[in-house]
Amino acid sequence: MKLMRWGAPGAERPGLVDDDGQLRDLSAHCPVLDGAALAPEVLERLRRIDPARLPLLPPETRLGLPWSGMGKFLCVGLNYADHAAEAGMAVPAEPVLFMKPPSCAIGARDTVWLPRGSTRTDWEVELGVVIGRQASYVDEADALSHVAGYCVVNDVSEREYQLERGGTWDKGKGCDSFGPIGPWLVTADEVADPQDLTLWLDLNGQPMQRGSTRTMVFGVAQLVSYISRFMTLYPGDLISTGTPPGVGMGRKPQPVYLKAGDEMRLGVQGLGEQQLRVQARPQP
């Protein structure tokens, strides 16, 4: 299934995407699409619903976050060797973890706002992994059974804040609107192999990122197992698994950063596409 939430910000309702790509209203069968709704038994009940019997939604309907109640927005840094090289950093011996606050998350067609004074805001297309069953100290062989589904994530990053303002990366990762997610959550049964998906991002129609999850340093099962040793993962938690090369700060001969009026289009194979406009946050 392709699950999504639709409607005005703060008033989103559950929906799904049928086999013809049409948006359908699921709210009569699932009043709230949150972490609890991602449990295997709930997803199985939703699969038995005939999408053709659900009300159609207009194609221009706003899509919000695909699910609500995300407790953790976890990210993995430098998880593609070629991206680590363009960033001038070593390939890590263990996964590099950091967090983005859930408050930065927006829908797949919403506006990305440049922070006041920002000159080095960058893009990162990533595969997102959504937890459906509580995971603590899980074995790698069992890790994928804790995954409800997958989604597209754009780990928007202000590089000056991230790398030059002292402390950890969080300052450059957590600005409002820096976590576009979706357009939908694709349940795990529709993703045959999360380690064989293409990723891409275009800026103003120009190709920037092209990659494949085949070249991850640490695969999805490894990451779920590894992270569960340090913290319990709960239904609705999100793991963003790292980005392939082609980010703005790695462009040669001159870095390229986002500016007001830019348009990003990005996607992951089988998981849908984001289309995001960039605007400058107004001065006070």
Is 152 within 8 Å of 268 (Cβ atoms)?
A: yes
pLDDT-derived band at 167 (thresholds 50, 70, 90) equals confident
List domains and CATH numbers for the chain.
Answer: 68-280 (3.90.850.10)
pLDDT > 90? residue 23:
yes
pLDDT at site 168: 84
- Give CA separation, 85 vs 92, 123, 205, 222, 282, in Å: 11, 17, 25, 22, 35
Radius of gyration of the chain (CA): 18
Confidence (pLDDT) at 53: 96
Instruction: Spell out the long-range contacts of 41-46 with Cβ–Cβ below 8 A and sequence spacing 24 or more.
Output: 43/1, 43/132, 43/148, 43/187, 46/1, 46/3, 46/16
User: What does the pLDDT read at residue 245?
Assistant: 93
pLDDT of residue 37: 97
